[in-house]
Amino acid sequence: MRIAVIGSGYVGLVSGACFADFGHTVVCVDLNEQKIAALNNGEIPIFEPGLDQLVAANAAAGRLSFTTELDSAVANANVVFIAVGTPSRRGDGHADLSYVYAAAASIAKAVFGFTVVVTKSTVPVGTGDEVARIMRETNPSAEIVVVSNPEFLREGAAIEDFKRPDRIVIGIEDESAREPMTEVYRPLYLNQAPLMFTGRRTAELIKYAANAFLAMKITFINEVSDLCENTGANVQDVARGIGLDNRIGGKFLNAGPGYGGSCFPKDTLAMMKIGQDYGAPLRLVEATVAINDQRKRAMGRKIITAYGSDVRGKTIGILGLTFKPNTDDMRDAPSIAIIQTLVDAGAIIKAYDPEGMEASKSVISGIQYASSAYDAATGADCLVLVTEWNAFRSLDFAHLKSIMRNPCFVDLRNVYRDKEVEPHGFTYTSIGRPSRAGLEELGSAAAE
């Protein structure tokens, strides 16, 4: 198959490289000349494990190329994927579809012969209808069918997710799209990957419903973690106890500082707006959004409480800035609100992240950047683990004690246990797990 992918951001680049690795001939298109020039020079604009090797191998094999020339790429394609951004629109939280609609009009002008146009960008219900209308209006004689094919890629594991998916959702309104879409995914289909054909609007809603449900699951365990702290229970044991129930499952039950990233924040907001627009308000999603926003700044206050006094003029070392490990994505990362809360309280921030420091400079100002975890800890009054990178999973606490001004460690990802940290002279605070002092207080209260 000859495939054109419009948009060479995260979804477009990963999808294009993986399609090429299936044996298809793929052209990735982007209007950003600097990005395309960099890609043609083998420079990958995002950090995603394994993506640089995948792009290099398929470019060398002649199956993957990059261009700013949309017309020629579309004219030669059997299938065109729209993979442009759909950020939250300022002011109202709706998905900004201007890039999708602009791509649709440009594609319609350039198509030649029967072409399947696939929306891979995350879009609200009914967007495919509008894309089809725009294309008919732009080029009434074009032979185009519009399909919805949402992506379900986890940052940091996107290639694995693409090649070994739980499901492939394809929303069609015209049966003529079924055969070409089956051919696109044929390498996966032969390996028994579940190919699920639905109506186009159903496919669009599946993506939002999936992300909203996972965001609710994260938010639920975060609220349970607060209850655990107040009752002396252990949230990790609670999560395991409920996760072993096959109806619930253990994934997305790790208590932490809240969700972030490119999908959950904007998709929950957009789904909330969709529900309001269609007269079916999603109260659980609305609560999820509100609770998650509040939690991030609450984590900043938790750090101040753990330190035990005013943090004005104190140095706080931050380990991890990205919203999750194995990515350089800073979009809606919990670290942003956490650091702002600490800065507002007068703290001095010294932060380190293996991949996210350059990206963080555009969203976090007025902080210092360290060269390593131990550099971030040097002279610090408190050290906070925000993102659970592997580089932070085996810290030398004896060495940390010797270089920190005050031995205070706050673990917002429950990577460690108190018995691993406190023997080195640290005060240790985690999420949803009782401290020894807390258990003593609960015991005293119960005795009274």
What is the 3-state secondary structure of the chain?
CEEEEECCCHHHHHHHHHHHHCCCEEEEECCCHHHHHHHHCCCCCCCCCCHHHHHHHHHHCCCEEEECCHHHHHHCCCEEEECCCCCECCCCCCECCHHHHHHHHHHHHHCCCCEEEEECCCCCCCHHHHHHHHHHHHCCCCCEEEEECCCCCCCCCHHHHHHCCCCEEEECCCHHHHHHHHHHCHHHHCCCCCEEEECHHHHHHHHHHHHHHHHHHHHHHHHHHHHHHHHCCCHHHHHHHHHCCCCCCCCCCCCCCCCCCCCHHHHHHHHHHHHHHCCCCCHHHHHHHHHHHHHHHHHHHHHHHHHCCCCCCCEEEEECCCCCCCCCCCCCCHHHHHHHHHHHCCCEEEEECCCCHHHHCCCCCCCEECCCHHHHHCCCCEEEECCCCHHHCCCCHHHHHHHCCCCEEEECCCCCCHHHHHHHCCEEECCCCCCHHHHHHHHHHHHC
Beta pairing class for 64-67 and 382-385: unpaired
Distance CA 253, CA 249 (A): 9
- Tokens for 99? 């890039």
Which residue type sits at 281?
Answer: P
Beta pairing class for 427-429 and 368-369: unpaired
Are the C-beta atoms of residues 302 and 410 closer than 8 Å to each other? yes
Q: Please list the active-site residues.
A: 263
Q: Which residues pair with 6 in a beta bridge?
A: 29, 82
